[in-house]
Amino acid sequence: MNGLLHQIASGVASGAIYASVALALVMIYQATHHVNFAQGEMATLSSYVALTLIHVGIPYWVAFALAVALSFVLGVMVERVLMRPVMNAPVLTSVGVFIGLLLVINALDGWIFGYTIKAFPSPFHSAHPLAGGLVSPHELGETGLTLVVLTLVWVFFRFTPLGLAMRAAAYNPSSARLCGVRVNRMLGLGWGLAAAIGAAAGIMVAPVVFLDPNMMSGILLYAFAGALLGGIDNALGAVVGGFTVGVLENLFGAYVVGTELKLTVALIIIVAVLLAKPAGLFGRAVQSRV
Amino acid sequence: MPALLETHGLHAGYGQTKVLHGIDFAVEQGGVTALLGANGAGKTTTLRAICAMIRTTEGGVWLGGERIDRLATEEIVRRGVGHVPDGRGTVLELSVEDNLRLGAYIRRDRAGVAADLERLFGYFPRLKERYRQQAGTLSGGEQQMLAISRALLVKPRLLLLDEPSFGLAPLIVQEIFHILRRINAEEKVSILVVEQNASLALDLADHAYVLETGRIVVSGTAAEVRQNDAVRRSYLGY
């Protein structure tokens, strides 16, 4: 029984990471109707930046904030330099850019920081076991931080005029323009935010899975499964889907398929959702009357 | 006093297809101007060219003396042009409330927006009842009311209306045109209205232009255009 609870708790912890990355994927998808395959690699780069800053002696949370801010700038630049020119190009062009970006960042990471697996510090420590040893301090802290990030993102999109303008720019760019919304700027902001959310997720997961250039590749798959499960065009769905996939992955890994085949769970979820309910649990066709 | 909006030799089209072949017209300050014409005459294209939703290839557009045809759509809107496009331009995925908040996005005067919103609810009480509903679930008439309200919330000097009667029941059309007349007078906003229903538009307008295949063929005051024989035969049916 304790084992099961432990598996669920650590599933929630990794689910928090998947939820963040899934949210980043959905944000880009809503604006561009494409999945940013490079989302994971961008987060890995951010984690390397954070680690480098920590190693030169900058306090952990300052390094965290700097890395997230830099990732925001990087995201804005990716949209400005790489995505804007292909905005009206056919789907395959965008997919090509995403994959190119993935390979470039991955290679750069290895070239600059090396391919050896690196340990990454956790800011969360505790002198005595938490909840009877059920969760580690890092799992608890990381889940808490992710929930704070997700809540902030939700508040931003739901209650601020800028968040509303960004949603409108994604749903219906021409109507947004007619309300005076500078749509291109909103797309750039969206990319920046997605990169920043991904960066936070990367830095939070690095102490668990250790840092190497391919750190996020598996996580991106889980996140993608989560986003699909919740509905690829639904932000709340992505978050719920991410947590669900985290728990499922852990339970199946522990009791059914074994840890070596955990990643298969993600692929099975992806295939199952696409076959049975392509819109996902929360995604639904927009009702419209004319 | 110069006109609020002027176009001179306006050419525009879609890619290789030229639709407008040199349009000259004006909207007077405080006035209502109607653009009439059959399907495909270039009425919607004219409105799109004014808002830079399509590129002007020759000629230009002036708003209050300032040339605007090289600006981006959002900058033209910020200079005081409210556009209710064909298809209405509401964001169907958002609630009525969020569509209205979006309309006021460029405004910084919270109190002014709140007051405007109250006045708009005075014109369109049904929007208040539907405030929390998703825009996609509104009826056609309600969507048109939302679209007009959204465009008025940018506090425009000029309101562009693309076939406000399109697809609506006659009674609703009457109601909307009645309110448009009040809006013109009470909100001090000039209106450029595109309509296939010439009779309806001429009732509202003080000036009118008739477009045929991208050229203006008749122009004058609404009364003059109404008396024009060709207009009567082709558009008014008597």
Domain ranges of chain B: 1-80+157-238, 89-155
Cβ–Cβ pairs < 8 A, chains A and B: 83
Identify the burial level of A38 via C-beta atoms within 10 angstroms of its C-beta, where 0-12 means exposed, 13-18 middle and 19 or more buried: buried
In chain A, positions 159-188, which contact chain B (CB-CB < 8 Å)?
Answer: 161, 164-165, 167-168, 171-172, 174-183
Give the span between the Cα atoms of A284 and B13, in whole angstroms. Answer: 36
CATH of B1-80+157-238, one of 3.30.450.90, 3.10.20.740, 3.40.50.300, 3.40.50.460: 3.40.50.300
pLDDT for B143 equals: 93
Cα–Cα distances in angstroms (integers) from residue B65 to residues A121, B15, B192, in the given order: 63, 29, 17
A287 touches chain B (CB under 8 A): yes
- Shortest CB distance from B92 goes to which of A161, A183, A286? A286
For B152, the closest chain A residue by CA position comes to A179
Between A134 and B48, residue with greater pLDDT: B48
- Shortest CB distance from A287 goes to which of B77, B94, B134? B134
First-residue to last-residue Cα distance in chain A: 55
A157 chain-B contacts, CB cut-off 8 A:
none
Give the span between the Cα atoms of B229 and B215, in whole angstroms. Answer: 18
Average pLDDT of chain A is 90
Is there a contact between B106 and A286 if contact means CB atoms under 8 Å apart?
no
Give the span between the Cα atoms of A37 and A115, in whole angstroms. Answer: 21
Give the span between the Cα atoms of A221 and A217, in whole angstroms. Answer: 7
- Shortest CB distance from B105 goes to which of A165, A174, A289? A165
> Is the pLDDT score of A188 beyond 80?
yes
Is there a contact between A180 and B106 if contact means CB atoms under 8 Å apart?
yes
Average pLDDT of chain B is 91
Give the ipTM of the model, two decimals please: 0.90
> Is the pLDDT score of A286 beyond 70?
no
- Shortest CB distance from A171 goes to which of B77, B93, B154? B93
Q: pLDDT tens digits, residue range B6-19?
A: 999 999 999 888 99
pLDDT for A287 equals: 53
pLDDT for B7 equals: 93
Is there a contact between A179 and B105 if contact means CB atoms under 8 Å apart?
yes
Closest approach of B231 to chain A, Cα-based (Å):
31
Residue A188 placed within a domain: yes
What the block records as the tokens of B83 is 């556009």
Is there a contact between B105 and A171 if contact means CB atoms under 8 Å apart?
no
What the block records as the tokens of B208 is 């009118």
The answer to whether B213 and B18 are in contact (CB under 8 A) is: no
Is there a contact between A168 and B92 if contact means CB atoms under 8 Å apart?
no
Is there a contact between B89 and A161 if contact means CB atoms under 8 Å apart?
no
Q: pLDDT tens digits, residue range A193-209?
A: 999 999 999 999 999 99
Q: pLDDT tens digits, residue range A224-247?
A: 999 999 988 888 899 999 999 999
Residue A63 placed within a domain: yes
Identify the burial level of A274 via C-beta atoms within 10 angstroms of its C-beta, where 0-12 means exposed, 13-18 middle and 19 or more buried: exposed
> Is the pLDDT score of A288 beyond 90?
no
- Shortest CB distance from B139 goes to which of A161, A176, A289? A289
What the block records as the tokens of A196 is 């920043």
The helix (H) or strand (E) run that includes residue B114 is: helix B110-123
B83 chain-A contacts, CB cut-off 8 A:
178
Is there a contact between A179 and B51 if contact means CB atoms under 8 Å apart?
no
Q: pLDDT tens digits, residue range B137-172?
A: 999 999 999 999 999 999 999 999 999 988 899 999
A52-87 burial code (b ≥16 CB/10 A, e <16): ebbeeebeeeebbeebbebbbebbbebbbebbeeee
Residue A120 placed within a domain: yes
Residue A89 placed within a domain: yes
Between A2 and A136, residue with greater pLDDT: A136
Closest approach of A162 to chain B, Cα-based (Å):
8
Q: pLDDT tens digits, residue range A69-96?
A: 999 999 999 999 998 898 888 888 988 9
Identify any residues that bridge with B10 across adjacent strands, giving them in sequence order. B23
> Is the pLDDT score of B203 beyond 80?
yes
Is there a contact between A164 and B51 if contact means CB atoms under 8 Å apart?
no
Residue B161 has phi, psi (to 5 degrees) of -120, 120
- Shortest CB distance from A168 goes to which of B72, B94, B154? B94
The residue range of the domain holding A138 is: 2-216
Which of these, B201, B115, B179, B124, lies nearest to B153 by C-alpha position? B115
Mean pLDDT on A210-220:
93
Give the span between the Cα atoms of B40 and B44, in whole angstroms. Answer: 8
> Is the pLDDT score of A53 beyond 90?
yes
- Counting every residue written for chain B, the total comes to 238
Is there a contact between A290 and B90 if contact means CB atoms under 8 Å apart?
no
pTM comes to 0.86
pLDDT band at A22 (very low <50, low <70, confident <90, very high): very high
- Chain B interface disruption, residue of A166, A179, A282, most B CBs within 10 A: A179
For A164, the closest chain B residue by CA position comes to B102
pLDDT for A57 equals: 94
Into how many domains does chain A fold?
1
Which residues in B have their CB inside 8 Å of a CB on A? Answer: 51, 53, 72-74, 77-78, 82-83, 85, 89-94, 98, 101-103, 105-106, 134, 136-140, 150-151, 154, 167
Residue A139 placed within a domain: yes
pLDDT for B23 equals: 92
pLDDT for B238 equals: 67
Cα–Cα distances in angstroms (integers) from residue A256 to residues A251, A269, B55, B207, in the given order: 7, 15, 61, 77
